[in-house]
Chain A
Amino acid sequence: MRNIWTIAKREYDNYFNSPLAYVVAFVILLILGFIFAAIMLFSSQQAMFGGPAPDTEQLTWWFSFLLMIAVPILTMRLISDEARMGTLELMLTAPVRDLELVVGKWLGAFLYVFTLATATLIYPVIMDNFITPGLDWRAVFAAYIGLILFSSTLIALGVGISAMFTNQFAAFFITFGLFIFLAFFVGIPANILDKGGDVFDYLSFGTHFFNSMNRGTINLGDIVYFLSLTALGLFTGSTAIEIRRWR
């Protein structure tokens, strides 16, 4: 366990030593800021005609969408670059289990995204001040729990894919492609098939996040889905390293 923390801490510090993390955080917060301003402007105009008070659903939707682009950037080099630089040899000859290495990398990236997510809480707080009787904080809370689980899954899959490649750009494109597929395409057969479409629907991010937790509901099925995919990503990473050893 201590090894996981040692590795995670190095990765976390490493993000803040490189311009990449600042660029990613800046771009995400900037875009969310624009969207937030647009929501507030639109709602205030609508309010004059008796429109509904704004909520944070769109904001968290956009945040999770941006994470699908940001996470592959953050995870692509985590293991692939160590393989390219040769430093993986250091890690694999240190008394560290392959899974500890993968989980450590995952945790480092996860803590970075967690930090970023905490920063975005500023928007609900501001919004809450402008509306009466205030935000439905339970829904916001559910959406953020969902966001945390969602990013945990994205990062685990990203780290897993990074372990399979020595070229970080290959890792980026495969990871990004997988996210887009799971978010927007895997559910398509569910609309076409008469029978068995449920399986495809179940696999989709949409079913468990965009149309579920992001709308303020927490249910065990969604949590299990995200935790399973997280475990799958981490296990894939560990297996990919094991395969590297045998090659």
Chain B
Amino acid sequence: MIKVSGLTKDYGARRAIHNLSFDAQQGEIVGFLGPNGAGKTTTMRILTGYMPPTDGEAIVAGYDVVEESLEVRKRVGYLPETVPLYTDMVVFDYLKFMGDLRKIPNVDDRVDEVLDMVGLSDRANGYIGNLSKGMKQRVGLAQALLHRPEVLILDEPTIGLDPGQVVEVRQLIRDIGKERTVLLSTHLLNEAQNICDRVLIINQGKIVAEDTTENLQARLIGAERVILRVRGDGDDLAKTIKAVKGVQGVETKEDGAVEFEFASGKDVRPEVARQVINAGYDLLELHPLGMSLEEIFLELTGSDSKKK
């Protein structure tokens, strides 16, 4: 449903995206992960027909984004990053206007339906300008869903939502993703993990990794890192832990907690816990440290600024 090959976009002398190639199938939710300025928004803008690429080709819903831009735009639902809305319009009127542009039959009924989907039925007659950020975000999402698009492109769809809404919106995206193609961008690894079938990591305009979230993490981590905390100061705590076979990279934190690693598949945690308790400490906490998106980036982009 989305097929991108060799996509390149220059803004003057600056190359925003460089030779990007990927695809997304129907019924698949693909996450676009990357730091600010990585080229996520640029790519999405090309796929939605907002701007043409400098080079390369993109086919969305079976049509070329440059040659058959209008056909693409008919079939794509887009939530831009900044969620632009006509703030001086009433929610219902705004959605009806967008629905009219998309020539949706029985547009009034469809607007009611979509408002219900995003949980905004009670604000249908309110001015968009008076809505909270999270509500505006949902109006933007309603607009993207209005015409039952084959392809949904969402730029940071959960930003600005409160935790309850984040859960609802993610569920909504998952449901939509069962039948349609969804491409969404996010900064949050757990969000990608939560809803995406597949993740593309993009940095400085290039795809640096493409895999399922689980694989990506497993591949990168190799060793599992754990933090352990006891009551009071554990002066010799590090020494006790080091003594356990299989423990590596022991490091004492400023607050007295100790971090250590062990090779994946050789879980030393039970043994460490036993030793710590035998040594007379009150064990308070022992939990794995997930690798953050930032760390995965640094790892993938080969940056040497990573500690150790």
Is this pair of chains taken from one and the same complex? yes
Q: Which A residues lie at the B interface, using CB under 8 A? A: 2-3, 6-7, 10, 14, 17-18, 85-90, 92-97, 245-247
DSSP majority for the A interface? helix
Known contacts: A3-B101, A95-B102, A245-B50. The answer to whether A90 contacts B84 by CB under 8 A is yes
- The answer to whether B98 touches A90 (Cβ under 8 A) is yes
28 chain-A/chain-B pairs, Cβ below 8 angstroms: A6-B100, A6-B101, A7-B101, A14-B88, A18-B88, A85-B84, A86-B80, A86-B82, A86-B84, A88-B84, A89-B80, A89-B82, A90-B84, A90-B98, A90-B143, A92-B50, A93-B48, A93-B50, A93-B80, A94-B73, A94-B98, A95-B70, A95-B74, A95-B101, A95-B102, A245-B51, A245-B52, A247-B11
Q: Which of B97-140 contact A (CB under 8 A)?
A: 97-98, 100-103
| Chain B residues within an 8 Å CB radius of A85 | 84, 87
Q: Considering the chains assembled together, what is the distance between the CA atoms of A6 and B82 in angstroms?
A: 24
| Chain B residues within an 8 Å CB radius of A93 | 48-50, 73, 76, 78, 80
- The answer to whether A10 touches B97 (Cβ under 8 A) is yes
| Chain A residues within an 8 Å CB radius of B48 | 93
| Chain A residues within an 8 Å CB radius of B87 | 85
Q: Considering the chains assembled together, what is the distance between the CA atoms of A89 and B76 in angstroms?
A: 14
- The answer to whether B80 touches A17 (Cβ under 8 A) is no
| Chain A residues within an 8 Å CB radius of B101 | 3, 6-7, 94-96
| Chain A residues within an 8 Å CB radius of B50 | 89, 92-93, 245
Within 8 Å of chain A (Cβ to Cβ): is B85? yes
Q: How large is the interface on B (under 10, 10 to 19, 20 to 34, 35 or more residues)?
A: 20 to 34
**Nearest-CB residue, chain B, relative to A92:** B50
Pick from A87, A96, A97: contact of B86, CB under 8 Å: A87
Q: Considering the chains assembled together, what is the distance between the CA atoms of A6 and B101 in angstroms?
A: 7
| Chain B residues within an 8 Å CB radius of A10 | 97
Pick from A2, A89, A246: contact of B84, CB under 8 Å: A89
Given A17-B88, A246-B52; 14 other pairs, CB 8 A cutoff: A7-B101, A85-B87, A87-B85, A89-B50, A90-B85, A90-B98, A92-B50, A93-B73, A93-B78, A95-B70, A96-B101, A245-B50, A245-B52, A247-B11
Q: Considering the chains assembled together, what is the distance between the CA atoms of A90 and B101 in angstroms?
A: 11
| Chain B residues within an 8 Å CB radius of A90 | 80, 84-85, 98, 143
**Chain A nearest CB, measured from B143 CB (Å):** 8
| Chain B residues within an 8 Å CB radius of A7 | 101
Q: Considering the chains assembled together, what is the distance between the CA atoms of A90 and B83 in angstroms?
A: 9
| Chain B residues within an 8 Å CB radius of A97 | 70
* A-contact bits for B60-83, CB 8 A (1 contact / 0 none): 000000000010011010101010
